[in-house]
């Protein structure tokens, strides 16, 4: 079974193997910046027959945001539910629909939503120019042709999907990212106003994804000055957002930048124990990324004592009650599935524990953590 984290496969360790990774070339930041989208897209319009396709989280179907999108000619909005994490077949179906609805290749794809919609938009942009199914490209550097122009507009902060070089998809055989130089967005628009309607629990879970990225990156053996500089900044911002009493606008601005910096931090290092175990939960039970990380992280004092103590303080301040008994009725073979998924994520363990991680991380140890959840 093959699973990966949102970051790359391994960190630079030996001379001449340092990663040369692409960054988002253009970014706008500011409250109300959505109003600039029309002028940003205009020069990228190929002609009146080549539409922009807006993939928008279905939560906005009846909301003002949908009426603010700068639609022209035959541009199309497709609302997509983020109830479940993105699937390869969903990407294939969207690509087939776009190809059958339009005679010309679109001018671009705009993803508007959380990590789910951002990942879908990246994958659709890639599959419009690359033959076959999204499942064919799950892995590292399998994409051969440049994607079409794609723009990411987050409406919730934390995953770092807006800066990353991957799009995490559940395929028929595996949950694995399309990690490639063609995956990152060509343009990101960061408008903190768009995060106003996020429900409190979801704000906490997705924000904690960022916090956990920082803890895992900063406490990992892959840490280097590049990752550290971004990780420390993101961690400071998370502390301000979740432990002090910022005004709502300042809090939204800072969490959006924390997400960005957290994503940049893991781009050049790796995530760790919480993400490895959370992937197991997600694979077997469909537990979503943000809450899955929280469910695991609360039990990781042994690995991240200070990080977990602060996490519990944040939970208390915001009166977050995590669900209990998630693994209560699982069978021995269910545990084995989750454990195998988690153990398969070797770079995460190597980052978290070091080269000799196999001596410390045993199936029994992982089972004892899962049993607490």
- According to DSSP, residue 317 is labeled H
Partner from Zn ion, ligand NAD, none contacting 198, C-beta within 5 to 8 A by type: ligand NAD
Does the footprint of Zn ion cover residue 92 (CB under 5 A)? no
Does the footprint of ligand NAD cover residue 179 (CB under 6 A)? no
**Residues facing 150 on adjacent strands:** 109
Provide, rounded to whole angstroms, the least separation between the CB of residue 26 and ligand NAD: 18
83 neighbors 125 (Cβ within 8 angstroms): no
Indicate the pairing of strand 108-113 with strand 150-154: parallel
Partner from Zn ion, ligand NAD, none contacting 116, C-beta within 5 to 8 A by type: ligand NAD
Does the footprint of ligand NAD cover residue 147 (CB under 6 A)? no
Does the footprint of ligand NAD cover residue 289 (CB under 6 A)? yes
Mark residues 89-118: x for contact with ligand NAD by CB under 6 A, - for none: ------------------------xxxxx-
- According to DSSP, residue 147 is labeled P
Partner from Zn ion, ligand NAD, none contacting 194, C-beta within 5 to 8 A by type: ligand NAD
Does the footprint of Zn ion cover residue 209 (CB under 5 A)? yes
Provide, rounded to whole angstroms, the least separation between the CB of residue 113 and ligand NAD: 5
Instruction: Kindly indicate which of the ranges 43-51, 82-90, 123-131, 233-241 contains the residues binding ligand NAD, using the contact rule CB under 6 A.
Output: 82-90
Cα(370)–Cα(364) distance, integer angstroms: 10
Does the footprint of ligand NAD cover residue 275 (CB under 6 A)? no
Does the footprint of ligand NAD cover residue 290 (CB under 6 A)? yes
Provide the terminal-to-terminal Cα distance of the chain, rounded to the nearest Å.
Answer: 23
Does the footprint of Zn ion cover residue 85 (CB under 5 A)? no
Does the footprint of Zn ion cover residue 216 (CB under 5 A)? no
Of the pair 206, 219, the CB lying nearest ligand NAD is at: 206
∠ at Cα 175 (174, 178), nearest 5°?
A: 105
Of the pair 54, 268, the CB lying nearest Zn ion is at: 268
Partner from Zn ion, ligand NAD, none contacting 338, C-beta within 5 to 8 A by type: none
Those residues with Cβ within 8 angstroms of residue 302's Cβ, 6 or more apart along the chain or in another chain: none
Question: Which residue in the shown chain puts its C-beta closest to ligand NAD?
Answer: 115
| DSSP characters over 197-217 | T--HHHHHHHHHHHHHHHHHH
Site for ligand NAD in 28-67 (CB under 6 A): 57, 59
Site for ligand NAD in 235-264 (CB under 6 A): none
Radius of gyration of the chain measured on its C-alpha atoms: 20
**Inter-residue long-range contacts of 124-130, CB under 8 Å, 24+ positions, other chains counted:** 124/53, 124/55, 124/91, 124/94, 124/95, 124/98, 124/150, 125/149, 125/150, 126/167, 126/178, 126/180, 126/182, 126/183, 127/91, 127/92, 127/95, 128/95, 128/98, 128/99, 129/105
Give the CA dihedral 75, 77, 78, 83, nearest 10 degrees.
150
Point out which residues bind ligand NAD (CB under 6 A). 6, 57, 59, 82, 85-86, 113-117, 119, 155-156, 158-161, 164, 166-168, 194-195, 197-198, 202, 206, 209, 289-290
Point out which residues bind Zn ion (CB under 5 A). 209
């Amino acid at each position: 079974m093959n699973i990966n984290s949102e970051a790359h496969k391994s960190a630079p360790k030996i001379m001449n193997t340092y990663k040369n990774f692409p960054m988002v070339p253009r970014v706008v930041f500011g409250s109300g910046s959505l109003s600039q989208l029309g002028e940003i897209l205009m020069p990228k319009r190929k002609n009146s027959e080549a539409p922009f396709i807006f993939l928008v989280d279905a939560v906005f179907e009846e909301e003002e945001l949908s009426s603010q999108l700068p639609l022209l000619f035959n541009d199309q909005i497709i609302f997509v539910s983020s109830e479940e994490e993105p699937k390869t077949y969903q990407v294939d179906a969207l690509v087939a629909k776009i190809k059958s609805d339009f005679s010309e290749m679109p001018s671009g794809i705009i993803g508007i939503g959380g990590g789910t919609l951002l990942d879908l938009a990246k994958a659709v942009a890639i599959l419009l120019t690359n033959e076959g199914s999204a499942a064919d490209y799950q892995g590292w550097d399998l994409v051969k042709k440049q994607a079409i122009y794609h723009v990411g507009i987050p409406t919730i902060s934390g995953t770092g999907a807006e800066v990353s070089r991957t799009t995490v998809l559940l395929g028929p055989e595996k949950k694995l990212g399309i990690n490639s130089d063609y995956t990152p967005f060509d343009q990101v628009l960061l408008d903190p106003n768009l995060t106003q309607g996020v429900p409190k629990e979801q704000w906490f879970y997705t924000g904690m994804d960022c916090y956990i990225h920082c803890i895992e990156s900063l406490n990992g053996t892959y840490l280097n000055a590049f990752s550290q500089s971004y990780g420390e900044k993101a961690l400071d911002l998370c502390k301000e957002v979740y432990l002090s009493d910022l005004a709502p606008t300042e809090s939204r601005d800072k969490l959006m930048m924390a997400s960005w910096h957290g994503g940049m931090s893991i781009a050049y290092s790796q995530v760790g124990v919480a993400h490895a175990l959370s992937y197991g939960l997600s694979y077997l039970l469909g537990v979503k990324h943000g809450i899955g990380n929280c469910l695991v992280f609360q039990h990781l004092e042994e690995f991240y004592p200070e990080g977990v103590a602060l996490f519990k303080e944040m939970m208390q301040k915001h009166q977050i009650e995590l669900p209990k008994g998630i693994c209560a009725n699982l069978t021995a073979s269910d545990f084995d599935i989750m454990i195998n998924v988690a153990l398969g994520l070797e770079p995460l363990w190597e980052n978290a524990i070091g080269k000799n991680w196999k001596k410390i991380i045993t199936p029994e140890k992982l089972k004892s953590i899962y049993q607490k959840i």
